[in-house]
Amino acid sequence: RTPSQGMMGGQMMGNMGSTATTATTAKTAAHQLALPPLLKPTSASKTKVAYTLTAQTGALALKKGAKTATLGYNGNYLGPVLRVKRGQILQVTTKNKLKQATSFHWHGAILPGNVDGGPGQSVAAGQQKTIAFKVSQSAATLWYHPHAMGSTAKQVYQGLAGLIYVQDAVSQKLNLPDKYGVDDFPVVIQDRNFTANNQFDYAADHQNDGTTGKTLLINGTLNPYIKVTTKLVRLRFVNGSNARNYRLTLSNGQAMHQIATDGGLLAKPVAVKTLKLAPGERAEVVIDTSKLTSQVTVKNGQQRVLALRLASNRRQQGTLPNELTTLPTVDTTNAQHQTLSFSGMGSMVSINHQQYDPSRVNLTAKQGQNQVWTLKNTGTMMGNEIHPFHLHGVQFRILSINGQTPPANLRGYKDTVALTPGSTVKIAFKFQDRGTYVYHCHNLEHEENGMMGQIKVS
Ligand code: C2O
Ligand code: CU
């Protein structure tokens, strides 16, 4: 090493060490993790469950001093958990009490295009709209968030996002940890910056290549912990950040057992020491604390995400089976092939050199026909970024990443996949329903800048 290299290294280390993140984490007192309420249905039967969701303004006491102005569904920040069983009709009355248009998109849901809440389906300020669709997919942790063109990124940043838990016979038979807030916790990970007056400042933080913040908010909690009273604890991680990618580890180096991806259970648990999550992705893990004697922390690099405070007498509750579910083999017979190339940066991002135009249908497909899509992140000469590819209305399977079989924890149902710089990812799926759907980069600023296209399924 030459002295100058050494100094550069030292400076970089110094900069990293002095970021507000580290400082904030160290100074902020620990808080018990906030749990989004389980929403009470307005009506429920064997075949149908109905909910009401209201997008509204709110305020959160996050720091000493002024409250942070926020947006939330039925509350101050984020939204409640909607629970639905496979086979039931999910009906949601969506109300917009904001002073601006919003939309209610059901991310990861397999549903007809006209109820998916995409960019063309806004609910105007003061208006409401009721949608319904039959839930025909496997048990999974899905989520909902706004999708109106031009305001998606800002509204999500201010707090609009919530969870949908789909349950089915397979998931209910497994005896996995599933007591909400006891041994089964949602963990929505978001990053934010604050003004001196404790406000989210989207305008000032806005970056064309993705808005990121130095401080983590987990379910809207700063520096959170959970009390662990059972040997097994299940965490449902949701990357609800606009643009930040996470690499989650446990502070003691122990592996987590990943049991589910975006769209449902894996065939069997997969031990993962580092769990990567791009914006929009979800992963459910079970952590075995039976051999632990002191607190363990979920971390993202040096940053604390969630501390697990262990009760001394932890109960045996729930199990981690060797087999979880049977995933069908991927069928690619007579598939229609598409190639999508993701390129550019900042405001110049595009898919196949086109930017989103609401009046243009970029692709067409037939309902029920097998699809094989090749997704390429061709990068730019100027910079390299991960583009998390997301397609509405389906769950897909990953056939290959750079020609290789995907790692075991990416072999389940997915609706979002990270395209790392220079990579090629092949996916397979079919549209079960009809309508017009969007596909886009889930870096929300890239999406707003036009890294999105439309497909018409007939
Ligand atoms: Cu999570 Cu098109 O969205
Ligand atoms: Cu992108």
Q: Which domain holds residue 300?
A: 184-315
The predicted pLDDT at position 17 comes to 31
DSSP collapsed to 3 states, 186-223 = EEEEEEECECCCCCECHHHHCCCCCCCCCEEEECCEEC
Centroid of ligand 1 to alpha carbon of 72 (angstroms): 17
297 and 345 share one domain: no
Q: Is residue 346 part of a domain?
A: yes
CB 141 within 8 A of CB 163: yes
Q: Is residue 121 part of a domain?
A: yes
CA neighbor of 301 nearest in space, from 364, 343, 248, 229: 248
71 and 137 share one domain: yes
The predicted pLDDT at position 253 comes to 97
Q: Is residue 4 part of a domain?
A: no
Identify residue 17 by its one-letter amino acid code.
G
247 and 213 share one domain: yes
292 and 360 share one domain: no
Centroid of ligand 1 to alpha carbon of 120 (angstroms): 13
Handedness of CA 217, 219, 224, 228 (dihedral sign): negative
Task: Annotate 150-184 with DSSP letters as a single string.
Answer: TTHHHHHHHT--EEEEEE-HHHHHTT----BTTTE
250 and 143 share one domain: no
Residue nearest to atom 3 of ligand 1 (CA): 107
Query: Would you put residue 7 in left (φ > 0), alpha (ψ -120 to 50) or beta?
Result: alpha
111 and 155 share one domain: yes
CB 277 within 8 A of CB 239: yes
Which CATH number covers residue 310? 2.60.40.420
CA angle 121, 124, 130 (to 5 degrees): 60
37 and 165 share one domain: yes
CB 327 within 8 A of CB 391: no
165 and 90 share one domain: yes
Q: Is residue 25 part of a domain?
A: no
C-beta 192 within 6 A of ligand 1: no
Sheet architecture: strand order including 296-300: 31-32, 224-230, 303-315, 296-300, 246-250, 275-277
pTM of the predicted protein model: 0.93
Centroid of ligand 1 to alpha carbon of 278 (angstroms): 12
State the 10-residue block means of pLDDT for the chain, 458 residues long.
32 32 57 98 98 98 96 98 98 98 98 97 98 98 96 97 98 96 98 94 82 94 98 98 97 98 98 98 98 96 97 95 97 97 92 97 98 92 84 98 98 98 97 98 97 98
Q: Is residue 428 part of a domain?
A: yes
Residue nearest to atom 1 of ligand 1 (CA): 107
Q: Which residues of 419-446 are buried (b: 16+ CB within 10 A; e: fewer)?
A: bbeebbbbbbbbbbbbbbbbbbbbbbbb
161 and 39 share one domain: yes
CB 268 within 8 A of CB 285: no
- In sequence order, what are the beta bridge partners of 283? 237
Identify the domain boundary among 263, 286, 315.
Answer: 315
Q: Is residue 8 part of a domain?
A: no
Centroid of ligand 2 to alpha carbon of 40 (angstroms): 36
208 and 274 share one domain: yes
ipTM over 0.95? The verdict is: yes
Identify the domain boundary among 282, 315, 348.
Answer: 315
189 and 273 share one domain: yes
83 and 158 share one domain: yes
State whether residue 146 is helix, strand or coil.
coil
Q: Is residue 323 part of a domain?
A: no
The predicted pLDDT at position 441 comes to 98
Q: Work out which ligand 1 atom sits closest to the CA atom of 438.
A: 2
Q: Work out which ligand 1 atom sits closest to the CA atom of 143.
A: 1
Q: Please state the domain count of the chain.
A: 3
Q: Is residue 22 part of a domain?
A: no
CB 41 within 8 A of CB 49: yes
